[in-house]
Each structure stands twice: as C-alpha cells, then as structure tokens.
Amino acid sequence: MVIKIPELKSRYIPVQSTDHIIKSDVHWWKHTSPFVYPNVLINLLTVNKQQISDIRSNMDGELFLLTDSGGFQVISGKCNIDWKKSLQLQIDLNASKIFAFDKPPVKPKYKGSLSQFIYMTDEETKRIIEENLDVAIEQSLWLKDNYPLYREKFCYILHAKNYEHLLFNLELINKKIGDKYNEYFPGGVTYAIKASDNLLITIAARHAYETFVKKGIYVHFLGMGSFNKILILIRNEITTFDSSGMLQAVRINEILTPENYKTKMSVNTEDFMYDGQFCICPVCIDKDYNKLCKENATMVGRNLISHNLWHLLKQCVLLNSFRKDKYNELSNKLFKLNIDMQRCLNFCDDCDKNGFDITYNKYKHYLKKDETKQNTLF
C-alpha cells in the first residue's frame, strides 16, 4: 500500500537541485515510491520538458511543480535569459505557478559565484525592487495578450531584506497598478526574504498573512531552510515554502531520525553505522542498509533523502494540526525553543490580540541590525 501525505493548508515543497536525482530510481512523486508526495521545486535551466513529462507519466495524481525564474542564474553570470524566455520555459514545463523574472538584490562576490554574494545598499535594493516590479508588470501584460490562461498562475516576487522593503513593495504596487494586484498577479505572491533573523522572517510571514493569505491569495516563501522557519511559516498559514537545505542534509551526512533529530553518519562508506533496523518509516522499513552499503552504496544516500523528507513531512503534518490559539503552547511543550523562537511565536499571538502595527512597534527593537546598512556594494 502506498501512503499518501494529507493535503496540508501550509506545505513544504522539496527542492530537486540536481539532474541525477530526477533520473534516479528514488522519487517521492512516483507511484512506485513508498509514499507519494507530488510536490517539487526545480531549477528552470537544468531540467527539460522531457524529464518533466517523464515524471508526470509516472504519477497517479497531479504534480505541483514550481521552478525558479532564472533571474538568480543571470546575476551569477551562469546564463543569459530574458523575461520572455523565462516565461516561455515555465509555460513549456507547465509549472503550477509562473514566477516573475526577478533580479535578487545582491551581487556575486566572484564572477560565476552561486554561493558568495555582496549585499546591496538600501538605495540600490529599492532600485532593484522597482526594476523587478516594472518587468513583472510588462510580463503580466504580455501573458494577457499571448497566454491568458497562464497569466492566472502568475506571481510577483517580492524581495525584502527588512520591514521597510516590504512596505516599499506595497507602496510601489499601489503607485503603479493601484488596487489591481489580483488582475496583474492572479497567481499570488512569492516572498524572497534574504535574512537569517527569525524575528524578521516572522514579521514577513505575518505581513504576508495580513496582506495576502487572509484574502485567500496564494503565498510562497523561497528558501526557508530550518525547522524554526517552518514553525513560523505554518503558524502564519503560508501556503507553500521550499528549502533545499533540509532535504539535501543527507549530502553532508545528516540523517534525520525520530529519536535524534539530526544524526551525522557516513552513508557512502562500506559500513552503515546502525545495527539492523534504525527506522521504520515507509522508505526504510524493508531496507537492509548494511547489505545495500555493500551492494549499491549510492542507493543508500538516495533512499535516505526520501527518509529525511518523510520525517520533515511528519513535522509539517503535526504543526498543521495545531490550533492557532494553542500553537505557541504546544510548540513549547514539544520542542526545545530558544528565547528568540519563543519571542517569534509570542509576536504572532500578540498580532492576533493587538493587531500587526502595535505589535510590530513593540518588538522592532529586537530585530538584528540590518546587514544592508553595513555593507556597501561595489
């Protein structure tokens, strides 16, 4: 029997970052998978139409497919596509949401670097936000004339590194298209928050909840790679969020186990560190990893990616089941939350009681210093 993950109000979208995993025998979307989870975010430029149709033909249900817009690859010097090409590629893959062509407000530290970036100044960031909105509006009008059905899936990508940038985005939208957000971006909105501060993530998630979620508008959060962030996003009913980090933890030999949230081990050596069965999830229950290590070591790692996903999804199902007025209490009871995270959940409760503006003013002095103010661009 294949286990199906329930449809969740707020759900995690696993990132498929390499082509070889798309081709591998282990997929969470295939009907041969021990559990079915038909959600994935892929890199627009490395996956082709044929691969996505292969995936779809191996599924029972409908695939929820997200892609990046390609803008990140452009600024890192890895490719040279424009906004029309970005739309065309997303349309060809029949993505479930079409993302606007966004330029992240960062510059690569070295030519071609995908990991090291220099933050832009506040002024520079605002200029990029405006540029992104102008391009997105142009894209929306082009979709209206050429692919009206795909325009229904079109989402604006909202970049922000602090709370002021969130407000700046809304002011600009109001200035350029008035109250016609749903007409231009009927697919919803994607928040791209470049920050590690959990309180800022909470403020952004709450902002998204007040501005969009409450009105039934789809919201995605890009690159949210930790359990703490997932806790915040589900509390604020963010529709979907992705993270490559948590799932790919297996690459740095971090295996999630029910007993110990993270266990480091080596998966590609000859010996598996556990004696006998270490997990009874649907992926591991019929596996003898000691044997598999000797026979086909790469399959150990691939199975453990699905194993990690299963345990992450279990956490998501659990968090989705909490009543919002008990969310804080239950989270504190079940997890070891530090003071920072307790403050984040208190912020959400305070918003419910006193509204966003009053609560924001009460908590804003806890925000970490804005990194954009300390680094200059060139």
Q: Does 279 bind Zn ion (CB under 5 A)?
A: yes
Spatial distance between the Cα atoms of 180 and 189, rounded to a whole number of angstroms? 14
Binding mask 256-275 for Zn ion (x = CB under 5 A): --------------------
Tell me how far, at minimum, the Cβ of 114 lies from Zn ion, in Å. Answer: 31
Quick check: 28 and 53 in contact, CB under 8 A?
Answer: no
268 vs 277, beta carbon nearer Zn ion: 277
201 vs 246, beta carbon nearer Zn ion: 246
How far is residue 352 from each of residues 83, 209, 235, 325, 345, measured CA to CA in Å?
39, 11, 11, 9, 11
**DSSP at 18:** -
Please choose, out of 2-10, 30-38, 127-135, 301-309, the segment that lies near Zn ion by the rule CB under 5 A. Answer: 301-309
Tell me how far, at minimum, the Cβ of 267 lies from Zn ion, in Å. Answer: 13
Tell me the site size for Zn ion, rule CB under 5 A.
Answer: 5
Binding mask 41-80 for Zn ion (x = CB under 5 A): ----------------------------------------
Tell me how far, at minimum, the Cβ of 280 lies from Zn ion, in Å. Answer: 7
User: Burial, 276: exposed, middle or buried (Cβ in 10 Å; 0-12, 13-18, 19+)?
Assistant: exposed
42 vs 283, beta carbon nearer Zn ion: 283
Spatial distance between the Cα atoms of 114 and 100, rounded to a whole number of angstroms? 20
Q: Does 281 bind Zn ion (CB under 5 A)?
A: yes
Please choose, out of 22-30, 202-210, 263-271, 282-290, the segment that lies near Zn ion by the rule CB under 5 A. Answer: 282-290
Adjacent-strand bridge partners of 155: 99, 188
Q: Does 302 bind Zn ion (CB under 5 A)?
A: no
Other residues' Cβ atoms within 10 Å of the Cβ of residue 286: 8
Adjacent-strand bridge partners of 65: 40
Q: Does 247 bind Zn ion (CB under 5 A)?
A: no
Tell me how far, at minimum, the Cβ of 281 lies from Zn ion, in Å. Answer: 3
Q: Does 287 bind Zn ion (CB under 5 A)?
A: no
Exactly one of 45, 120, 136, 284 binds Zn ion (CB under 5 A); that residue is: 284
Token digits of residue 276: 């006998």
30 vs 314, beta carbon nearer Zn ion: 314
77 vs 258, beta carbon nearer Zn ion: 258
Sign of CA dihedral 75, 81, 84, 89: negative
Tell me how far, at minimum, the Cβ of 284 lies from Zn ion, in Å. Answer: 3
Q: Does 307 bind Zn ion (CB under 5 A)?
A: yes
30 vs 144, beta carbon nearer Zn ion: 30
SS3 percent helix, strand, coil of the chain, rounded to 5, is: 50, 15, 40
Token digits of residue 222: 């890009």
User: Burial, 40: exposed, middle or buried (Cβ in 10 Å; 0-12, 13-18, 19+)?
Assistant: buried
Please choose, out of 62-70, 87-95, 169-177, 284-292, the segment that lies near Zn ion by the rule CB under 5 A. Answer: 284-292
Residues of the shown chain interacting with Zn ion in the complex, contacts defined by CB under 5 A: 279, 281, 283-284, 307
